[in-house]
Amino acid sequence: MATASRKYPLLLAWLALCGALGLVLSLLSGLSFFAATVIVAVALVLNGVLAEIEDRAPGGFLNPDGTDTPQWIARSTTAGRWVGIGLMLLVSLVLGVTLSANALTVRAVPIFIALVLAPLLLALCFFDSRRFRWAAWVAAGLFALAITFAVVTT
């Protein structure tokens, strides 16, 4: 834990990192600098929270034998599972509506199927990661096939 005298330089360094990455993102994507910086900051914070949950969960880096699992980890894991399922269903719905609204050609149908089916498979992984471990690999393969097909057909 950082002491009070070291807190502000660390905060400034984090803000500088967010600003630098936000600048790169804004230049690459056409987003405004402020929006890109906020996206980067939220992504960094979310990544840190998810890493902390993963490390403290049973079998994680800080809890390899599973005997020291904090109560908030158990609650956040269950809530995270349902949030993940909801987000994957939302991604699938948004991709499906967006892609179907843009007049699908015959060549785009495989890309459409892959991009709509992959998030649904990832939702299965959130539901039960042990039973549906295969679904993550199939989803990754579908994403790879969609990207390959899109590059080859354009």
pLDDT for residue 101: 67
Q: Which domain holds residue 108?
A: 70-154
Residues 97 and 31 reside in one and the same domain: no
Task: Read off φ and ψ for residue 99, nearest 5 degrees.
Answer: -70, -35
Residues 76 and 46 reside in one and the same domain: no
pLDDT for residue 17: 92
User: For 104-154, what is each residue's pLDDT tens digit?
Assistant: 666 677 777 777 787 887 777 777 767 777 887 888 888 777 777 766 766
* 3 φ/ψ sector (left φ>0, alpha ψ -120 to 50, else beta): beta
Residues 45 and 109 reside in one and the same domain: no
CA distance 138 to 113: 13
Residues 115 and 64 reside in one and the same domain: no
> Is the pTM above the cut of 0.85?
no
CA distance 120 to 65: 32
Residues 118 and 74 reside in one and the same domain: yes
Tell me the sheet residues that pair with 60: 63
User: For 25-84, what is each residue's pLDDT tens digit?
Assistant: 888 878 889 988 988 898 888 888 777 877 777 777 887 887 877 777 767 667 777 777
Among 69, 101, 129, the domain boundary falls at 69
Residues 27 and 91 reside in one and the same domain: no
pLDDT for residue 104: 62
* C-alpha pair distances (Å), 26 with each of 12, 16, 32, 40, 43: 20, 15, 6, 10, 15
Residues 36 and 93 reside in one and the same domain: no
pLDDT for residue 28: 82
Task: Read off φ and ψ for residue 126, nearest 5 degrees.
Answer: -65, -35
pLDDT for residue 19: 93
Residues 100 and 135 reside in one and the same domain: yes
Number of domains in the chain: 2
Residues 94 and 153 reside in one and the same domain: yes
CA distance 70 to 94: 36
